[in-house]
Structure 1
Amino acid sequence: MAQFKWFTTKHKGLRYREHETRKHGVRRDRFYQYRLMENGIRVQESFGWLSEGWTEEACLLEVAKLKQARRTGEGEITLKDRRKKALDKRTEQERKAITFGEVWEKNYLPQAKADRGEASTLREENLYALWIKPVLGDKPISEIVPLHLEKIKSNMRSEGKAQRTIQYALAVTRQVFNHAKRHSLFNGDNPVGKVKIPSEDNRRTRFLSHEEAALLLEEIKRRSVDVYQQCLLALHTGMRAGEIFSLTWECVDLKNEILLLKQTKSGKDRMAYMTPQVKEMLQSRNSADTEPGSLVFPGRNGVEIKQVSDTFNRAVNALGFNEGVTDPKAKVVFHTLRHTHASWLVMNGTDLYTVKELLGHSDFKMTARYAHLGENTLRSAVQGLGKAMEDEYSNVVNIEKIRRHDGSIR
């Protein structure tokens, strides 16, 4: 630790040391410090350099303020505390001045790109550029209120945007606020929580019959074996398109007929189970020189496929499945295969909890939509209970008859 030579001033307790090279005016720059025993306690305050404005008079004025604070118990009693309070105030002011756009560009977007897929991030960027930025971009994040978010909703509605798209835009906005809060860039309540989120029932209602599924698979197989095999996997396991496209051979256990699906939509890993048809299909794709980390369904140049091939839509159109259908929920799309898988499970008597686990639903409400498909199973269960109760009643009646016939039985 450097040893300084200190010089006294004519003021009790106030001293200074000189800078080795730097001058202030004609003299060397001075660093002032107050050091004195007060009521048996060593008090030491380091003020600063003369070149920074710390004259002897300024130092003495500060000493008087600190003594007053110690005497009255009001305010900061040390210069360190006072400086910390001033720093906190500046930091708070700077934080309040941070705009929503700055949080988006410098903090949220880089993190989103690191954590999520390219397609998801690109959609968020489009929503931000078109709808969020014009309203919130230049506003300090601390000054944004629910009224601003209502403006985003109003703008999107006036342009005929779907409720689901408005939901997504508000969800992105909520995530930016949450991100800012986690990183101490914002400390208020998330204003999105005070805005009514548009609701829309976008659950799919259309699922395929066994005959329709067979026709669709045959039509697709005629056009593309790869797309056919992807569809077969979706229909037989309930896997999402993204889960199929990201599946690697190291996650395929042909011996135990299990597929490990990593980091699914719910954020958790889950297992999918092979049917004999799926196992046979995967065996046909596998070879002795297959790398464990390679994709089961690689795209061009071996990279991961980002979207469903248009071959699927062409096959659906050729079969006329969507002819005259205007409701998007009733149209046959690739996701219909997953919906069909779940529907068939329930219609075959599989309980909803098992379906939930197989599909990887994070919320049971998502699975409950299939409950009506199991009405026949439920009806059969109640009828079975009724039959059991009827048999039990018959047994009781028979015992009572025996009792009446044989008085020895009491």
Structure 2
Amino acid sequence: MPIKLSKRTVDALAAAPLPSIGYDTELKGFGVRLGAGGSLSWFIEYRPGAGGRRVAKKRFYFGSREFTPEQARQTAKELLAAVALGGDPMKDRIRERQSLTFSEFAERYLAEEAQVKLKPGTIANYRIAIRKHAVPDLGRIKLDKISNADLARLHTKIGKTSTVNANRTMECISSIFRYAATCNIVPVGHNPTKGLRAFRENRRERFLSSEELGRLGEAIREAETVGIPYEIDGSKPSAKHAPKPENRRIQIDVYTAAAFRLLILTGARLREILHLKWDYVDFQRGLLLLPDSKTGRKAIVLNAPALALLQKIERAWQYVIASSDPDRPKADLNRPWRTISKRADLAGVRIHDLRHTHASVGAAAGLSLPIIGKLLGHTQASTTQRYAHLASDPLKEASEKIGLSLSAQMGDTPTPEKVEAKR
């Protein structure tokens, strides 16, 4: 018989033969169950969906003795109100138990989606973003429980050390949620990265001057011939086993030297040169025909110095820049670059800055930005726009003429001939 569930009536039920069930008189569908071992569980009974007698009842248990009857009744009211709006607490609980954590689904995304649709470099960057930035904060949270506020905090946290890494991590997480929606793990359109504003990124532009290019060329020649001298820390125990001072030199092989020269002469990306195969080189037409690159299929025009350099390289294996393994390209050029750039006094210069230098020389020579973009393989005109300030701009020339004329009439500026000579 229904009773008003209170501490007294629940205690009375516990004194009766167990198990026993009591229903509340004040809230229809709310009840309590006392097990034979003395356990207590509150529950609601409801008919999901549109309801009606043809729909079987479900019993949803929640809470135990830590809930007072008043707290249990309030929770039951909220659950029954959700049912009235079309909810189903039992189904929600099953879905939550079956749902994956962020860490679990991120691995699934990399294996099923990223591996098929993204380039190896992007996949590698995504793995770093997931492992280093996302998993420590989100790894154990169920995917459908991650909120916009969670990601806003993570974005800000990463942004304190690197705004670029913060933005790339959010892009990765956004892709994970888009795939989760297609797998019915989260509702379609559910993506907590929406509304997060990316940090402003200041693009780093570094172009080598003629003097710096001269020092770089000299350092490469020294490294591939006699080697670049290096110093050791005499205070370390291993110093006594170091080579004699006259033998302390770092040499690079001809392929590494050729790689640096090709990067400068072609403006190609690092991976485009390291993964270059002899099959991609068209000597007759003077082209590198890359079947795949960051921007897809691509043809790189070979100028005379680049073509001559390729003709001198000995064909060891399938890769132009041969490594110790005939079936694998060189992994990177970081160690030799550190040695060469230090010798050439190019502190802070990256390998990618050689590509920028290639473009800057073209802009300064008066080549149009669309032509430079074509040479570099840019798919967006805005990408090439960064070199606009280096170009021979008619507006600059016009402003120069007006300014010199006005200042000359005022009698306080050198003549245009002297300005040009000073330059």
8 Å contact from structure 2 (residues 365, 392) kept in 1:
no
Asked if structure 2 preserves the Cα contact closer than 8 Å seen for 1:207 and 1:339, the reply is yes
Do the aligned partners of 2:256 and 2:321 also contact (CA within 8 Å) in 1?
no
How far did 1:190 drift? Answer: 1.9
Distance 1:353 1:122, change over 3 A: closer
SS at match of 2:175: helix
What residue number does 1:281 align with? 309
Task: Specify the SS of the correspondent of 2:322.
Answer: coil
User: Shift of residue 181 of structure 1?
Assistant: 2.6
Q: Of the candidates 135, 138, 147, which is equivalent to residue 137 of structure 2?
A: 135
Q: Structure 1 residues 143 and 166 mapped into 2: Cα distance closer, same or farther (>3 Å)?
A: same
Cα 1:92/1:235, change in 2 over 3 Å = farther
Partner of residue 298, structure 1: 322
> Identity over the aligned pairs, expressed in percent?
25
CA distance in 2, matches of 1:339, 1:213: 13
Aligned pairs for 1:142-157 within 5 A: 142-157=144-159
Aligned with 1:262 (options 272, 279, 291): 291
Deviation at 1:376, TM superposition (A): 4.1
Aligned residue runs from structure 1 range 234-253, under 5 A: 234-253=263-282
Distance 1:220 1:116, change over 3 A: farther
1:314 maps to 2:315: no
The aligned residue for residue 183 of structure 2 is: 183
Mapped contact 2:366–2:391 kept (Cα < 8 A)? yes
Shift of 1:134: 3.0
The CA distance in 1 between the partners of 2:190 and 2:145, in whole Å, is 11
Contact 1:220 / 1:227 at 8 angstroms: preserved in 2? no
Task: Evaluate the alpha carbon distance shift between residue 357 and residue 112 of structure 1 in structure 2; reply closer, same or farther with a 3 A threshold.
Answer: same
Deviation for aligned residue 1:378 = 5.4
Query: Which residue matches 2:370?
Result: 353
Partner Cα separation in structure 2 for residue 248 and residue 95 of structure 1: 50
Paired residues for 1:4-403 under 5 Å: 65=54, 93=95, 97-109=99-111, 111-113=113-115, 120-157=122-159, 160-186=160-186, 187-204=188-205, 206-223=206-223, 224=252, 225-266=254-295, 268-287=296-315, 294-302=318-326, 303-322=328-347, 331-376=348-393, 379=396
- 1:292-333 C-alpha deviation (Å, 9 max, x unpaired): xx11112221211222242222122112222xxxxxxxx322
1:151–1:314 CA distance, 2 compared to 1 (3 A): same
Aligned residues: 288
271 and 295 in structure 1: CA distance in 2 versus 1, 3 angstrom threshold: same
C-alpha distance in 2 between matches for 1:337 and 1:122: 23
* 2: CA distance, partners of 1:221 / 1:354: 31
Q: In 1, are the aligned partners of 2:274 and 2:329 still within 8 Å (CA)?
A: yes
Instruction: Name the CA distance, whole Å, in 1 between partners of 2:291 and 2:398.
Output: 36
Whose relative contact order is higher, 1 or 2, with alpha carbons under 8 Å and at least 6 apart? 1
Mapped contact 1:95–1:185 kept (Cα < 8 A) = no
Whole-Å separation in 1 of the counterparts to 2:138 and 2:393: 52
* 3-state SS in 2 of match to 1:192: coil
- Label 1:182 to 1:236 Cα distance change in 2 as closer, same or farther (>3 A): farther
3-state secondary structure, aligned to 1:300: coil
Whole-Å separation in 2 of the counterparts to 1:135 and 1:309 = 31
User: What CA distance in whole angstroms lies between the structure 2 residues aligned with 1:155 and 1:379?
Assistant: 43
Distance 2:215 2:144 in 1: 57
1:181 and 1:375 map into 2 onto residues whose CA distance is 50
Whichever of the two has the greater Rg, that structure is: 1
Distance 1:375 1:361, change over 3 A: same
Distance 1:226 1:110, change over 3 A: same
Residue 123 of structure 1, CA deviation: 4.1
2: CA distance between counterparts of 1:347 and 1:275? 18
Give me the CA root mean square deviation. 3.4
Q: Residue by residue, what CA displacement relative to the aligned partner does 1:222-275 show, whole Å, maximum 9, x if unpaired?
A: 213322211221111110101101111111000110011232222x11111111
| Amino acid paired to 2:390 | L
SS of 1:185's partner is: coil
Amino acid in the other structure paired with 2:304: P
* Alignment TM-score, normalising by the size of structure 2: 0.60
Cα 1:189–1:95 shift into 2, 3 Å: farther
Partners of 1:115 and 1:222 lie apart in 2 by: 43
Moved more, 104-113 or 190-199: 104-113
Structure 1 Cα separation of the partners of residues 336 and 99 of structure 2: 51
**Structure 2 Cα separation of the partners of residues 383 and 200 of structure 1:** 32
Question: Structure 1 or 2: larger helix share?
Answer: 1
Tell me how far apart the structure 1 counterparts of residues 283 and 132 of structure 2 sit (CA, whole Å): 47
Shift of 1:139: 2.5
Tell me the CA shift for residue 112 of structure 1: 3.0
- Once the two structures are TM-superposed, the CA of residue 115 in structure 1 deviates from its matched residue by 5.2
Contact 2:181 2:190 in 1 (8 A): no
TM-score (norm 1): 0.62
